[in-house]
Amino acid sequence: MKQAFLITLIVAGSALFSSCKQQPAQTEEIVKTPIIEKTVELPKDALRIVAIVTLKDESFTADFEKAASAVVAGSRAEEGCVYYELGKSNTPLTYAFIEVWKSQEAINIHNETTHFKAFVEAINGKADLNVCVMNNLY
């Protein structure tokens, strides 16, 4: 079954962040991002994950972003990873990972990697984590 994968992620990400009540910081720099429609065939058992990370204190921001950069790079290199993105919410201290994995087995392998374990250790006690694992419904 073919899915408009990138469009789905854009819509999901927009819905996720539109619920934030904070207004975005005003900046003078405008970043132009082209939107490219791409149809991607996903394996039948592909799983999507949205993981919301809320830091407990602003002083943890730099350490979190350093650890997050490493886990994003490592995760994207994994064979079972289809898509892996980190975004920063307009809500203070809140970030969201949007992930797509080929299977539960791929997630299990990911959870045992050095980069994932290092990330978990780096945020231990410094953040609240809310993870939603989803199967395709439509």
What gap in Å lies between CA 13 and CA 93, rounded to an integer? 17
* Cβ contact 110:26 at 8 Å: no
Token pair in block for residue 6:
């990138």
What gap in Å lies between CA 49 and CA 31, rounded to an integer? 26
At residue 38, the pLDDT reads 67
Q: How many CB atoms lie within 10 A of CB 99?
A: 23
At residue 58, the pLDDT reads 97
Residue ranges, the chain, pLDDT below 50 = 1-23
Q: Which CATH code is given to the segment(s) 2-134?
A: 3.30.70.100
Enter the pTM of the model: 0.70
| All structural domains of the chain with their residue ranges | 2-134
At residue 32, the pLDDT reads 74
Q: What 8-state DSSP symbol labels residue 42?
A: P
What are the start-end ranges of the E strands in the chain?
2-3, 40-41, 47-55, 81-88, 94-101, 127-134
- Phi, psi angles (nearest 5°) of residue 67: -65, -40
Report in angstroms the alpha-carbon separations of 31 from 27, 34, 86, 92. 10, 10, 17, 21
At residue 19, the pLDDT reads 41
* Cβ contact 81:99 at 8 Å: yes
